[in-house]
Structure 1
Amino acid sequence: MKPGPQLLALLDKQYTSSKLTEMVFQRYDLAFKTDETGQPVLLFIGKKDGQGKIKGERFARQAKGHWDNKGKI
């Protein structure tokens, strides 16, 4: 799985700094952590299990618009 243009547009926005944000995007559950400037730097995408943890994949931002897949979660 690779983040598409719609998801990248969502991740290019500013959010509350140093916070974990959860939302639903299309058919996936998302959670992302932001840095001190409010830019998402760590992304979890997949489906939540019964305990509320996302089962899917983890991505880390390397540069603006570039996310590296860090494996399954």
Structure 2
Amino acid sequence: MALSKKIESYLGKIYSPDSRINERLLGKDITFITNEAGEPVTLFIGVRREDGAITGERYVRTIVRQPGSQKIMKSHWDLKGKVSRG
């Protein structure tokens, strides 16, 4: 499943570095983890259980930077599979 444009836009922002952020967006629970620059790099989307874990899907972001700088040339999210712990 591809991410919706609204979710991609939300994840295109900069957040607190090295953080775990829990939100609810478009009727889904999401948790994302940011890197040292505050860019979301790992996403869990689905339904949050009582213990805080998400049952759903996991995505990982690939970022290509301009050589010699931190400027992002391109990035994309890859679906890595289902997550469900029970």
Normalising TM by the smaller chain, what interval?
over 0.9
Root-mean-square deviation (CA, aligned residues, Å) is: 1.0
Which residues of structure 1 form unaligned runs of 5+? none
Deviation at 1:53, TM superposition (A): 1.0
User: How many residues get paired?
Assistant: 73
CA 3–65 in structure 1, closer or farther in 2 if over 3 Å, else same: farther
The amino acid that maps onto 2:82 is: K
Which structure has more relative contact order (CA 8 Å, sep 6+)? It is 1
Deviation at 1:50, TM superposition (A): 2.5
TM-score by length of 2: 0.80
Which residues of structure 2 form unaligned runs of 5+? 64-73
Counterpart-to-counterpart distance in 2, 1:24 and 1:51: 16
> Aligned residues: percent identity?
38
Structure of higher CA gyration radius: 2
